[in-house]
Amino acid sequence: RKEVEQDPGPFNVPEGATVAFNCTYSNSASQSFFWYRQDCRKEPKLLMSVYSSGNEDGRFTAQLNRASQYISLLIRDSKLSDSATYLCVVNLLSGSARQLTFGSGTQLTVLP
């Protein structure tokens, strides 16, 4: 079983749609949680951190359920520029190293 599992998609949605991505993680010792965005052939970039209380950044809302070991990302009013791969990431303290563990990513294409 993968440590971080995501639906690979692809998700093809029209502009203006709302789209939700889900992710589960297996290691209950995971300490912090993130969504990264990766454009084609580019490096991953931090989109937002994820907290149990839920957090929102403009059109993006992230939620963490520690009991279910489940993370979600909601994108409202999708824009063409949201087309990218979205990576669910957990941060595990292994010894003295903070190790980011990535899911395989969910590909999103927003269509005009």
Partner 1 sequence: ETGVTQSPTHLIKTRGQQVTLRCSSQSGHNTVSWYQQALGQGPQFIFQYYREEENGRGNFPPRFSGLQFPNYSSELNVNALELDDSALYLCASRSGLQPDTQYFGPGTRLTVL
Interface with partner 1 by CB under 8 A: which residues? 4, 32, 34, 41-46, 49, 87, 89, 91, 94-105
Taking the complex as a whole, the smallest distance from the CB of residue 44 to partner 1 amounts, in Å, to 6
Return the number of the residue (62 or 105) whose C-beta is nearest partner 1: 105
Q: What angle do CA 7, 2, 84 make, to 5 degrees?
A: 35
Taking the complex as a whole, the smallest distance from the CB of residue 52 to partner 1 amounts, in Å, to 15
Provide the 3-class DSSP secondary structure of residue 82: helix
Return the number of the residue (71 or 89) whose C-beta is nearest partner 1: 89
Distance CA 62, CA 52 (A): 9
The pair of structure tokens assigned to 57 is: 């950044």
Q: Is the bond leading into 44 cis (omega within 30 degrees of zero)? A: no
Q: Sort strands 55-57 and 44-50 into parallel, antiparallel or unpaired.
A: unpaired
Return the number of the residue (69 or 91) whose C-beta is nearest partner 1: 91
Return the number of the residue (45 or 59) whose C-beta is nearest partner 1: 45
Taking the complex as a whole, the smallest distance from the CB of residue 112 to partner 1 amounts, in Å, to 26
